[in-house]
Structure 1
Amino acid sequence: MLFQSQIFILLFLPVTLALYYAAAGSRTLRQIVVVTASLIFYAAWDVRFVPLLVGLTLLNWLIGWLHEADPKRDWPIIGVVANLAVLGVCKFTNFFAGSFAALLGMEYTPWDIILPLGISFFVFQKISYLIDLRRGQAHAYPLLDFFMFVTFFPQLIAGPIVRHNEIIDQFAADPRRAEVWENLSRGMVLFAIGAAKKLGIADYVSEVADRLFTAASATGGSSLAEGWIAAAAFTLQIYFDFSGYSDMAIGLALMFGLRMPYNFDAPYRATSIRDFWRRWHMTLSRFLRDYLYIPMGGNRGGGARQARNAIVTMLLAGLWHGANWTFVVWGGLHGIALAINGAWARTGLRMPALLGWALTLLFVMAGWVLFRAPDFPTAWTVLRGMTGLDGIGHVKVDHAVAFAIGAAVALVGPTSQQVALLKLRPIHWLAVPIGIVLLLLLLQSGSRTPSEFIYFQF
């Protein structure tokens, strides 16, 4: 059940909101509504994975209480290992077994393991809780609070990666408080903006990216025009796809009276690679910083150690994104870039902002080629094409309007959160154009087969 699908917008969401606000007077009842709806939402994808979601949630909740009862035994570490083991078996068994077999020159038949939807996100969410528990920065929560924290459907599949201390305390607040109508309206506007990003930009430019990357894989050649348009198409696709999802998720949460952390802040305007990671998938960046980079030593211990910590952190980030060596190399390249950025910063030299922006965007676009390509030969074909070594060529750019609007929105103007949550004023007549936009988006979602969000595969 996709956020932008008609069944979600016309049935699931209004029914869930109606039941939630009907039960708003009782914290227990409204939480039961949300947890039940969230499990139905997850089951709509594949009911076979509901026991895994419920079982892991119960295990982590139990570990919280065991730790409070016996803090001398390292229950949180046991929990972290258990979570990583589940993630490893589901996501990386075939990857590591296949890589090992290839190293030995052996044949390998992949096991029939289906990756549970959203497992990378809700495992990271639980790990952050367990580590905070061990640090004394968290405590055991009531079962219903913990279940709602983990399964809350807006962020269950692809984030943002919400920490316990960012949302659980909000469960006590009555959603019918004074700002209820503001929350509903601003949440709906942000949801509509996210849907427009996905349906009006990402889904159109994805057709160009898919066609050109498929052609590069099939023919082993890519001209200058094809290479750059392929890279630009995916650069826009992944941003508007994932930031669109995040806007929809944050907007949905706000309709329930809950505020989730932002996940994007105009990343393609970054003037350094450090700045980029402060703006791109911000909840993942904070997770990597707080639970990997800083515990390894962070910026302490000199430049060499800082570089090592950055590279190791980003290699693991790349591996988290997918069981493919292209993701690992993509992460490693970003780690090297962060290490170089750190070394440059320590010199005290300053780069002109425009030059920094251009270099950062070029590096990010080249990295997205590796991220998108199914294998190294395809990535090399597109990157080689971008250098012009295979000729200049020409290509018809379909959906040029989506390209132009996407580039403009990504590079100038306020962000979607600034528009919906800060700049928007309560003017009654705005309901009409927003309603028209939602209607057009509904018609658009029904006119073609809905496409999944890119980060659903992670």
Structure 2
Amino acid sequence: MLFNSQLFLLVFLPMVLAAFYGCARLPEPAGRTARQLVLVIGSLVFYAAWNWLFVPVLVLLALATWWIGRRYADTGRAIWPIAGIVLNLAILGVFKYANFIAANVESLVGASHRAWSIVLPLGISFFVFQKISYLVDLKRGGHDYARQHRYRLLDFSEFVTFFPALVAGPLVRHNEIIPQFEKPVLTARTAENLSRGAVLFLIGLTKKAGIADTIAQICDPLFAKAAAGTVLNGAEAWAASIAYSMQIFFDFSGYSDMAIGLALMFGLTLPVNFNAPYRSTSLRDFWRRWHITLSRFLRDYLYIPLGGNRSGLARQCVNLGLTMLLGGLWHGAAWTFVAWGGLHGFGLAVNHLWTRAGLRMPSWLGWIVTMLFVIVGWVVFRSPNFTTAWHVLGSMAGLHGIGGLHLRNAIVLWIAVAVALVGPSSQKAALSMLRPSPWLAVPAGAAFIFLLFLTGGRVPNEFIYFQF
């Protein structure tokens, strides 16, 4: 079930909201239990709508992680969170990387791997990382911390299954959201939360259905031509690379806006995941603005444990490279993702060396260099193999002529670039700048109806990050 589908917008969401706020009128603590059950059951239905066979993996891993956390709180034995981390990594490894590892091992010995029939559960990378962060926090905090965060099963279940963030984030930490479950739902801010959440959701839906899916009609055929061996001219290659840069931004930031907006409609606050990343003037700045919750996960649970910047500049550069290589592999079981992560690790290391040397460049030049680097990286990320990436990059370098681009496609790309570079971020616009007003309901309602017809008139595209 997609956020941008009519089934979700017209049936699932209204029913869950109605049931949730109906339960909110019950006396406490029965009201809290009832509304939490609504969200847990609704989230499992949402997940089962993709494939009910995925549900046992999600439920059993959640129960095992919760039980392990309780055992550590009871006994104080560090083996429990370590075992839980190993379990979660093993599940991720089997489902996501087993075929990749086997194929590479067999290739080294000259054999051909016949892929095993392993179905990748939707969003497994996100909900496994979420549980790992919880277990690592317990281990770091020690026995006393574990006892203080000894959650009820229903609290933990809502944390790990909450449907807005279940499939593609943001990556929410347990201590960011579970304390919010205790807060009353019906307050003086309830109406404002519903309206602001709905506006942010609408902005995200516009990004996805109105912009990302439209740009996909430019991007996908061009990359398909390159993958089939057809040589792109320079204009086509640049259109493909810029189109994908815009598509993945509007697709994933749109999803994040919708997730944060949905959570707010249920009275819960999720962390911001994007902050105008294409306005960055350095690669470090880019990773402070792009997929913010993944960036901080990689920083706190990989980069810092590896040593961070505590052991000298050379070791810091190595730690950056290793962190980003693993971050690339997290995105998918393919060498193109690893190469993309390695490319960004190298770029971040160079960025640190440049800063340490006291060198500076004008902001406008920093923006150009950063964007060129990011766009080239997206070509590697998007390509199904290195041959395709090389063909596209070669055409971008002018090896196959300049050529031309259809006027409509050029206009669409310029509009997307302008939206990405100008104006406030989605969260700032919806959560801070806009003031509640009945007059906003008219254009918002009209936009929603238009997007309903738009999504109904074509097969809704899955979000790009669902494949990760």
Could you tell me the TM-score, scaled by structure 1's length?
A: 0.99
Q: Equivalent pairs: percent with the same residue?
A: 61
Runs of 4+ in 1 over 3 A off after TM superposition: 397-402
**Aligned match of 1:113:** 118
134-143 vs 348-357, greater mean Cα deviation? 134-143
Instruction: For residue 100 of structure 1, report the CA deviation from its aligned partner.
Output: 1.4
**Aligned match of 1:295:** 305
Please state whether the residue corresponding to 1:219 is helix, strand or coil.
coil
Is 1:227 paired with 2:232?
no
CA–CA distance in structure 2, aligned partners of residues 60 and 207 of structure 1: 42
**Aligned match of 1:174:** 184
- Deviation digits for residues 287-331 of structure 1, max 9, x if unmatched? 000000011111111110000000000000000000000000000
Q: Is the 8 A contact 1:167 1:258 kept in 2?
A: yes
The structure 1 residue matched to 2:101, chosen from 86, 92, 96, is 96
Could you tell me the TM-score, scaled by structure 2's length?
A: 0.97
After TM superposition, the structure 1 = structure 2 runs for residues 173-192 of structure 1, keeping only pairs within 5 Å, are 173-192=183-202
The structure 2 residue matched to 1:64, chosen from 43, 51, 69, is 69
Is 1:74 paired with 2:79?
yes
Please state whether the residue corresponding to 1:261 is helix, strand or coil.
coil
**Aligned match of 2:5:** 5
Is 1:347 paired with 2:357?
yes
**Aligned match of 1:23:** 23
After TM superposition, the structure 1 = structure 2 runs for residues 236-385 of structure 1, keeping only pairs within 5 Å, are 236-385=246-395
CA–CA distance in structure 2, aligned partners of residues 390 and 199 of structure 1: 33
**Aligned match of 2:466:** 456
CA–CA distance in structure 1, aligned partners of residues 407 and 376 of structure 2: 20
Q: 1:397 to 1:325 in 2, by over 3 A?
A: farther
- Deviation digits for residues 91-143 of structure 1, max 9, x if unmatched? 00000111111222211110011100000000000000000011115522100
Count residues in correspondence: 458
Read off the aligned partner of 2:130 and give its amino acid letter. Q
- Deviation digits for residues 407-452 of structure 1, max 9, x if unmatched? 1111111001011000000121111100111111111110000110
CA–CA distance in structure 1, aligned partners of residues 56 and 408 of structure 2: 44
Read off the aligned partner of 2:102 and give its amino acid letter. A
Is 1:386 paired with 2:387?
no
Q: Is the 8 A contact 2:212 2:246 kept in 1?
A: yes
Instruction: For residue 397 of structure 1, report the CA deviation from its aligned partner.
Output: 5.1
- Deviation digits for residues 191-215 of structure 1, max 9, x if unmatched? 0000000011100111111111111
CA–CA distance in structure 2, aligned partners of residues 189 and 402 of structure 1: 24
142-151 vs 401-410, greater mean Cα deviation? 401-410
Please state whether the residue corresponding to 1:13 is helix, strand or coil.
helix
**Aligned match of 1:34:** 39
Read off the aligned partner of 1:304 and give its amino acid letter. A
Is 1:214 paired with 2:234?
no
Q: Is the 8 A contact 2:197 2:261 kept in 1?
A: yes
219-228 vs 439-448, greater mean Cα deviation? 219-228
Q: Any stretches of 5+ residues in structure 1 without a counterpart?
A: none
CA–CA distance in structure 1, aligned partners of residues 407 and 258 of structure 2: 28
Instruction: For residue 398 of structure 1, report the CA deviation from its aligned partner.
Output: 4.2
Read off the aligned partner of 2:406 and give its amino acid letter. K
Q: Is the 8 A contact 1:204 1:399 kept in 2?
A: no
CA–CA distance in structure 2, aligned partners of residues 398 and 47 of structure 1: 42
CA–CA distance in structure 2, aligned partners of residues 346 and 328 of structure 1: 27
Read off the aligned partner of 1:121 and give its amino acid letter. F
Instruction: For residue 147 of structure 1, report the CA deviation from its aligned partner.
Output: 0.2
**Aligned match of 1:45:** 50
Read off the aligned partner of 1:156 and give its amino acid letter. L
Is 1:426 paired with 2:425?
no
Q: Is the 8 A contact 1:221 1:390 kept in 2?
A: yes
Q: Is the 8 A contact 1:272 1:356 kept in 2?
A: yes
Is 1:130 paired with 2:121?
no
Instruction: For residue 401 of structure 1, report the CA deviation from its aligned partner.
Output: 4.4
335-344 vs 211-220, greater mean Cα deviation? 211-220
Instruction: For residue 59 of structure 1, report the CA deviation from its aligned partner.
Output: 0.4
CA–CA distance in structure 2, aligned partners of residues 384 and 90 of structure 1: 35
Please state whether the residue corresponding to 2:228 is helix, strand or coil.
helix
- Deviation digits for residues 260-293 of structure 1, max 9, x if unmatched? 0000000000010000000000000000000000
The structure 2 residue matched to 1:144, chosen from 141, 154, 160, is 154
CA–CA distance in structure 2, aligned partners of residues 334 and 73 of structure 1: 34
The structure 2 residue matched to 1:165, chosen from 153, 157, 175, is 175
Read off the aligned partner of 1:55 and give its amino acid letter. L
- Deviation digits for residues 343-396 of structure 1, max 9, x if unmatched? 111112222111111000000000000000000000000000000011112232
Q: Is the 8 A contact 1:64 1:130 kept in 2?
A: yes
CA–CA distance in structure 2, aligned partners of residues 73 and 217 of structure 1: 49
Q: Is the 8 A contact 2:78 2:139 kept in 1?
A: no
Read off the aligned partner of 2:195 and give its amino acid letter. S
CA–CA distance in structure 2, aligned partners of residues 365 and 72 of structure 1: 47
Q: Is the 8 A contact 2:237 2:395 kept in 1?
A: yes
Read off the aligned partner of 2:47 and give its amino acid letter. Y
Instruction: For residue 220 of structure 1, report the CA deviation from its aligned partner.
Output: 4.4
CA–CA distance in structure 1, aligned partners of residues 439 and 310 of structure 2: 55
Q: 1:268 to 1:177 in 2, by over 3 A?
A: same
